[in-house]
Structure 1
Amino acid sequence: MKPVVTIVMATYNRAQYIVESIKSIQAQTFENWECLIIDDGGADNTAEVLGSILKQDKRFAYLKRTDLYTKGLPGSRNYGLDLAEGDYIIFFDDDDIAHPQNLEICVSEFLKSEIDFCRYVRTVFRGTFNYDYDLSKNYTQFKIDKSDVHKILKHELLFNSCAVMWKRECFIGNHYVEHLMYAEEWELYSRIISKGFKGISINKILFYGRKHDASNTGEFTKKDPVRIKSNTDAIVLVLENLKEQQLLSTGIIRYFTQVSLDYKAYNLFNRMMEALKLSTVENIKWKLFYFHLPMRLFFYRLLKNKH
């Protein structure tokens, strides 16, 4: 039977966590799904620890990423996207825990109304997971469309990689940028929504992210240069897309200009200006703004601390 939902799970040397993640998928109250586990070339015993589960539950498929896709999380997810058979697609990580009602509640929202995606709340944990779930189905919701893109880009409306179920149509012509090793979902999801796809956000925790230093976010926090460089690349791509979709604003340019102060070593501001292809007058205006911004911020913080 054709699956309704495709779960794409990229994995890389997470044998110590992945079985717990897989069991949370098996515990889903909605059962018509497939889970594509895409191994990005890990060297641990992931295949071995999954052996018995794969034999017993044919809804799982364990695949090695092919050389047609770039090594890394984006390439592995793109491979899964291209193999997906479900009407809806969701990305789970190999070290996290899904709420048992995750798929059921999201699918029910798609059946209720014409939406392209269903966002929900993701929370985090460290160490041993507490399986005391809230199983109620009472929650509020709000709509999201391209008018919210700036909120997403400014992290005022978070779009975590594992906190959204999408209609498969959202990915026609929209895949992960494979050279990005950080902020790849931020770039892709904002790009999808900027093109007019509409959805909802429900106020219920349906996913639990495991926090540890070996995660991509942990490495970014520790200022890993690969992750930092990827973040700057993603910002440039985001601005190029906003310009193409005619969603640029003075506020969003000002926001990323301030962000660029933290990435002087990566020449982010100049790359932004090149990507935006502004008029000569506008270019000069923003260069002057960038030049005076550190002093303005200094006095702003000084006055704020006095009050």
Structure 2
Amino acid sequence: MATYNRELFIEETIQSILKQEYTNWELLIIDDGCKDNTYQVLIPYLQDPRIGFFQRSLKYKKGLPGCRNMGLDLAQGEFVIFFDDDDIVHPQNLQISIGEISSRPDLMFCRYRREVFEGKFDKVFDTSQKLESFSIQGLKDYSKLITQELPFNSCSVLWRKECFKDIRFNEELLYAEEWECYTNILTEGNNGISIDKTLYYGRKHAQSNTGEFYRGNPLRVQSKIKASKSIIDLLNRKGLMTPRLYKYFGWMAVLLGSKSLYKYLEKYSSINIFIRLKMASIYYLSPAVLIFLKLKKKIG
């Protein structure tokens, strides 16, 4: 768990972890340079030997990716989850997700549903034993992760630690780092399972990275563009770029207003010339296309 100035929320998050029905866990809290009273809030909880508090080493860059990479290097367990410092976790999260894959070495991760909430947490946990699930095949379903058809939120997946043996979060990114990292893991051919049950609750507030991205924060937007270029490189290197993904990144360039992303996609992707020409016409006519789409939506 990376933390930065979360004195208002982190205690509630830790209390939800302490309520886990599965008790054989360790919580590694990596301080990214808090300037508030986060540490003072945590002092009573550090009496629990399962909870450790660490200052981010200068070996790792400031930011969420660097803190997560440090946590990976410290982690002793067979499985890892990247919890945020302002969310709430279902009491059966570890029990269910570990139970689903611990006896199946062919499964490298367990994905579960995530819901968001605002203000006071008042959700009622579903503790029924009924579980529905479906398999996820890395080399078949990676495109669904990229397009968010099958979202892989950073906190809604339990991974076997070995997935990160040769893969780490890109410490140059300030947003979309998990999108890039998890794409890398799936395109390595790692398979898993997805549980149709909410086991994690994300707090929605203005200070979150996602909130800043959707408000147009330049650092977050540029990080999304940089992560997109990295994924384009990855797909081309592994021969996994498809016409559908080419169109997806083309539209992303339009919506983010990024000429550099479109030029990068066009230059480094070997895709059918007709697909490239169609996307080029959409991109270069994008102002008119966007106006048309807004009118169409308004009329609809």
TM-score range, shorter chain: over 0.9
- Counterpart residue type for residue 16 of structure 1: L
1:180 and 2:173 aligned: yes
How many percent identity over aligned positions? 43
Structure 1: unaligned runs, 5 residues or longer? 1-8
Structure 2 equivalent of residue 189 of structure 1: 182
2-side partners of 1:210 and 1:53: how far apart? 21
SS in structure 2 opposite 1:16? coil
The one of 83, 106, 125 equivalent to 2:74 is 83
How far 1:53 moved relative to its partner? 1.0
Contact 1:195/1:245 (8 A) holds in 2? no
Structure 2 residue 83 is matched with structure 1 residue 92: yes
Q: Is the 8 A contact 1:177 1:184 kept in 2?
A: yes
Per-residue Cα deviation, 1:122-151 (whole angstroms, up to 9, x for no partner): 001111112521111212101111211111
Q: Which segments of 5 or more consecutive residues in structure 2 lack a partner in the other structure?
A: none
- Are 1:69 and 1:79, in contact at CA under 8 Å, matched by a contact in 2? yes
Match of 1:5 in 2: none
For 2:24, which of 28, 32, 51 is the aligned residue?
32
Deviations 1:134-191 (A, max 9, x none): 1112121011112111111111111000000000110011110001111111111111
Distance 1:199 1:284, change over 3 A: closer
Please state how far the C-alpha of 1:208 moved relative to its aligned partner: 0.5
Letter matched to residue 212 of structure 2: E
Deviation of 1:289 (Å): 5.4
Q: Of the candidates 194, 214, 217, which is equivalent to residue 201 of structure 1?
A: 194
Q: Distance in 1 between matches of 2:107 and 2:85?
A: 27
Amino acid paired to 1:230: S
1:65 aligns with 2:49: no
Aligned CA distance change for structure 1 residues 217 and 284 (closer, same or farther; 3 Å)? closer
Post-superposition offset of 1:263: 2.9
Deviation at 1:43, TM superposition (A): 0.6
Task: Give the 3 Å change call, closer, same or farther, for CA 123–304 of structure 1 in structure 2.
Answer: closer
- SS of alignment partner, residue 237 of structure 1: helix
Question: What is the identity, as a one-letter code, of the residue corresponding to 1:83?
Answer: L
Question: Which residue is equivalent to 1:13?
Answer: 5
1:124 equivalent in structure 2:
116
User: Within 1, Cα distance between the matches of 2:185 and 2:22?
Assistant: 26
**RMSD of aligned residue pairs (Cα, Å):** 2.2
Q: Which residue of 2 aligns with 1:138?
A: 130
Correspondence 1:278-293 to 2 at 5 A: 278=270, 285=277, 287-288=280-281, 290-292=283-285
19 and 153 in structure 1: CA distance in 2 versus 1, 3 angstrom threshold: same
In the aligned structure 2, how far is the partner of 1:53 from the partner of 1:237? 39
* Preserved contact between residue 243 and residue 272 of structure 2 (Cα < 8 Å): no
SS in 1 for 2:197: strand
Distance 1:271 1:96 in 2: 36
Matches within 5 A, 1:101-180: 101-113=92-104, 114-130=106-122, 132-145=124-137, 146-180=139-173
Whole-angstrom CA distance in 1 between matches of 2:253 and 2:282: 12
Does 1:219 pair with 2:212?
yes
Distance 2:56 2:244 in 1: 40
* Cα displacement (A) at 1:272: 2.2
SS at match of 2:194: strand
State whether residues 243 and 271 of structure 2, in contact with CA within 8 Å, keep that contact through their aligned partners in structure 1. Answer: no
AA of the residue aligned to 1:12:
Y
Secondary structure in 2 aligned to 1:119? strand
CA distance in 1, matches of 2:97, 2:276: 48
1:50, distance to aligned residue in structure 2 (A) = 0.7
- What CA distance in whole angstroms lies between the structure 1 residues aligned with 2:52 and 2:34? 16
Contact 2:266 2:276 in 1 (8 A): no
Answer whether contact 1:160 1:185 (CA < 8 A) is retained.
Answer: yes
| 1:229–1:266 contact (8 Å) kept in structure 2 | no
- Counterpart code for 1:179: E
Deviation at 1:296, TM superposition (A): 5.9
In 2, distance between residues paired with 1:240 and 1:43?
37
Further displaced range: 175-184 or 123-132: 123-132
Distance 2:225 2:251 in 1: 13
- Report the counterpart of residue 267 of structure 1 in structure 2: 260
Give 2:251's aligned residue.
258
